[in-house]
Chains A and B, each alone.
Chain A
Amino acid sequence: MNRLPSVMIVGTALLAGCVTINIYFPAAAAEKAADRIIDEVWQLKKDSQTPAEGKQP
Chain B
Amino acid sequence: MKTLRNLLLLCVFAASAAWAQGNLEIDTPAISQVRGAMQARHAQLAPHYASGAVGLTADGRVELRDAAAVPLAQRQAVQALVAQENGDRDALYREIARANGHPEWEAEVRSTFAQRWIERAQGGWYVQSGGKWIRK
Which A residues are within 8 Å of any B CB, using their own CB? Answer: 4, 7-8, 10-11, 14-15, 17-18, 21-22, 25-38, 40-44, 50, 53
Contacts and interface: CB of A to CB of B under 8 A. Distances in A.
A30 B105 CA distance: 10
Given A7-B4, A8-B4, A53-B43, A38 B120 contact: yes
Contact of B108 (A7, A30, A43, A53): A30
Contacts, number: 80
Contacts of A50: 39
Nearest to A48: B39
B105 A11 contact: no
Interface of B: 1, 4-5, 7-8, 11-12, 14-15, 18-19, 22-24, 26, 35, 38-39, 42-43, 92, 96, 102, 105, 108-109, 112-113, 115-117, 120
Nearest to B88: A41
B38 A41 contact: yes
A17 B38 CA distance: 37
Given A8-B4, A31-B115, A36-B26, 5 more contacts: A27-B112, A28-B22, A40-B39, A41-B39, A44-B120
A2 to B, nearest CB: 13
Interface SS of chain A: helix
